[in-house]
Amino acid sequence: MNRQPRTLLTLLLIGAIVGTGYFIWRDLRAPLPGAPHSSRTTDVAPSRGGRLVSTLRSEPRSFNRLASANAVTELYSLLAQAKLVRINRATQELEPWLAEKWETSADGRAFTLTLRDGLTWSDGTPFSAEDVAFTFRAAYDPKAGIVLGPTLQVDGHPLAATVIDGRTVRVEFPASFGPGLRLLDNLPILPRHKLEGALAAGTFAQAWNAATPPSDLVGMGPFQLARYEPGQRLVFTRNPHYWRSAPDGTRLPYLDELVLEIVPDQNAELLRLQSGDADVMQSTVRAEDLASIRPLESQGKLQLLELGVSADPDVFFFNLRAPYWAKDPRRGWVTTRQWRQAISHAVDREALAESVYLGTAVPVWGPVSPGNREWFSPNVPRYPYSLETAAKLLASIGLENRDADEWLEDMSGTEARFTMLTYRGNLVLEREAAFLRDELNKVGIAVDVVALEANALVDRLVRGDFEAIFFQYLTSDLDPALSKDFWLSSGPAHIWNMSQDTPGTPWEAKIDELTRQQAAALDPAERRRLFAEMQRVFGENVPALYFVAPRLYAAASARVVNLTPAILRPQLLWAADTIAVKP
């Protein structure tokens, strides 16, 4: 090649690169496609029609809510099935749902529920009280492999459902239970005519799996599954037999179609929303993403919704099973209350909220965050940031710096060191764990942070094979009586020392007693008093440490109207029947 064509080729190449770069730069600065220019639309009256696209982080494992506690299955159930009563995720109040009203017996243990008249399943089959009785039978059938069974019991005993007539069911509790019918928010009513055969054949847990044709899935929710394209999306269409109407008489749901696009990566999920390919994000917005959403909010393209303080603060706890430490030289101090209190004093919660959550978190002192407005007690013991107090408490259990290094030692020379397990891949948790390690280093405590895959960590937790864990424990209901498995020493979610035969400490015995009284009490004021006392005893003994609770944010396209955000999952789609989009 002679010199002239080569120079020409080079110039053309440079021109092409510069030109492409210019067009990318120009388009990156241009308004987002798909996201319409408009003002905030939450005050626009909802109307019928349209399609809403939401992201979904993972595939459904099953469409059988009783057999799977998977979050996607739960979301499917919220969209396509219905319960007798519902907890309004925004107000936390119990609402009539398939049951339009109920009467409570004098002792508060029996409820006679009247079902709405004229209800039909999505396939047109009439709904009756027999379907309710069938669902209760399936939920408690020992052969059915029901994962929700234990959560639907009171003191280890099932509820009894008796059909009075076609529209009336009597539900009896085995013991007095403060939350009453709130327990039934967990129980979608299933069609007897579709699933009775599977229950009889002992294959109920396998029924309605991910391979089931959508036409076989029948429910009474606002939507019905029309299409499941594995790896891509779930497409829901309006259930023509849905019973609910808006206050102005418009038949619900407003939407013609609801699409859940499977987007496994959270960064890609955010980009889909920003580009207008999605209207709603399943995930809440991370603190570091707020900066990229706020400009779009001010331009009227997106809605950024502050939901409130999360009810699920991250939790840090030591293994308090005595046998685990029996042969460990640290046994003299690692399970003491002073050790945990010292750690609580050594962590600067404000700095943690600033550095990890960029200021979008609030300090917390116990398992109940201010986000749980009904049950939060502000009067729990607090451990303000003080390295001096932490050092004094550590000295009181014999931990001092006895050599030239930076770590504390006990009388036998054993270093104040422990291993903290946390979730791998959860960047916020990993950053928080690193922050805690650095904070504890300041008082001479060495922390080895080990990140594990989520189910490997839970496996270690369940087997009691850990020194300390820092993770997130999700709350499904804000009423403490529905979290008895956490509070009771015999509970499987009593994470620091699970499933004890008898309470290992006097304070756990005290909390057990208070928990039982609180769950059995019917008077709301008495229940609040007892729970405040539970939180106080918990706070004095700090079996688990809580540092901050993040403020939750959700984002949606400006074309979405009539959203009812809540702090519990799924924060926006829990009330999908009343969501609408601008025409």
**Subset of residues 434 to 453 that bind another protein, contact rule: CB under 8 A:** 452-453
Site for another protein in 267-306 (CB under 8 A): 267-268, 271-272, 274-275, 277
Least distance (Å) between residue 353 CB and another protein = 24
Interaction of residue 490 with another protein, rule CB under 8 A: no
Complex with another protein: residue 267 or 298, whichever CB lies closer:
267
Q: Is 352 helix (H, G, I), strand (E, B) or coil?
A: helix
Complex with another protein: residue 346 or 495, whichever CB lies closer:
495
Least distance (Å) between residue 253 CB and another protein = 18
Distance of CA 155 to the CA centre of its chain: 24
How far is Cα 244 from Cα 222, in angstroms, rounded to an integer? 8
Interaction of residue 30 with another protein, rule CB under 8 A: yes
Least distance (Å) between residue 429 CB and another protein = 12
Interaction of residue 569 with another protein, rule CB under 8 A: no
For another protein, which residue of 2, 5, 28, 413 counts as binding (CB under 8 A)? 28
Interaction of residue 428 with another protein, rule CB under 8 A: no
Least distance (Å) between residue 296 CB and another protein = 11
Interaction of residue 488 with another protein, rule CB under 8 A: no
Distance of CA 85 to the CA centre of its chain: 20
Complex with another protein: residue 70 or 114, whichever CB lies closer:
70
With CB under 8 A as the rule, give the number of residues binding another protein.
Answer: 77
Residues 6+ apart with CB under 8 A from 281: 54, 55, 269, 270, 272, 273, 554, 555, 556
Q: Is 387 helix (H, G, I), strand (E, B) or coil?
A: helix
CA 422, 425, 429, 432 torsion-angle sign: positive
Least distance (Å) between residue 408 CB and another protein = 31
Least distance (Å) between residue 449 CB and another protein = 17
Least distance (Å) between residue 281 CB and another protein = 13
Q: Find tokens 């769950």 and name the residue.
A: 519
Residues 6+ apart with CB under 8 A from 279: 52, 53, 54, 273, 556, 557, 559, 560, 581
Radius of gyration of the chain (CA): 27
For another protein, which residue of 10, 105, 215, 419 counts as binding (CB under 8 A)? 10
Peptide bond into 503 cis (omega under 30): no
For residue 143, give the amino acid letter. K
Least distance (Å) between residue 35 CB and another protein = 10
Q: Is 346 helix (H, G, I), strand (E, B) or coil?
A: helix
For residue 221, give the amino acid letter. G
Least distance (Å) between residue 494 CB and another protein = 9
Question: Other CB atoms closer than 10 Å to residue 115's CB: what's the count?
Answer: 22
Q: Is 314 helix (H, G, I), strand (E, B) or coil?
A: strand
Q: At residue 303, what are phi and psi to the nearest 5 degrees?
A: -110, 130
Complex with another protein: residue 132 or 421, whichever CB lies closer:
421
Stretch that binds another protein, among 5-13, 95-103, 172-180, 280-288 (CB under 8 A): 5-13
Site for another protein in 455-484 (CB under 8 A): 455-462, 471-474, 476
Contact string (CB under 8 A) for another protein, positions 322-361, x = contact? ----------------------------------------
Question: Other CB atoms closer than 10 Å to residue 24's CB: what's the count?
Answer: 10
Least distance (Å) between residue 448 CB and another protein = 18
Residue 449 · residue 440 · CB < 8 Å: no
Complex with another protein: residue 184 or 205, whichever CB lies closer:
205
Complex with another protein: residue 205 or 552, whichever CB lies closer:
205
Least distance (Å) between residue 538 CB and another protein = 18
Site for another protein in 57-76 (CB under 8 A): 58-59, 61, 67-71
Q: Which of 56, 123, 76, 86 is nearest to 268 (CA)?
A: 56
- Token readout for 509 is 């015995």
Interaction of residue 203 with another protein, rule CB under 8 A: no
How far is Cα 349 from Cα 314, in angstroms, rounded to an integer? 12
Consecutive H or E run containing 95: strand 94-96
Least distance (Å) between residue 455 CB and another protein = 4
How far is Cα 521 from Cα 526, in angstroms, rounded to an integer? 7
Interaction of residue 233 with another protein, rule CB under 8 A: yes
Say which DSSP state 105 is in.
-
Stretch that binds another protein, among 108-116, 228-236, 352-360, 388-396 (CB under 8 A): 228-236
Least distance (Å) between residue 354 CB and another protein = 27
Contact string (CB under 8 A) for another protein, positions 493-522, x = contact? x-x--xx-----------------------
Residues 6+ apart with CB under 8 A from 154: 173, 174, 175, 177, 183
Least distance (Å) between residue 423 CB and another protein = 8
Paired with 66 in beta bridges are none
Interaction of residue 24 with another protein, rule CB under 8 A: yes
Question: Other CB atoms closer than 10 Å to residue 291's CB: what's the count?
Answer: 9
Interaction of residue 229 with another protein, rule CB under 8 A: yes
Residue 444 · residue 398 · CB < 8 Å: no
Interaction of residue 20 with another protein, rule CB under 8 A: no
For another protein, which residue of 150, 202, 240, 295 counts as binding (CB under 8 A)? 150
Complex with another protein: residue 271 or 522, whichever CB lies closer:
271
Residue 273 · residue 281 · CB < 8 Å: yes
Interaction of residue 232 with another protein, rule CB under 8 A: yes
Q: Which of 476, 424, 495, 418 is nearest to 455 (CA)?
A: 424
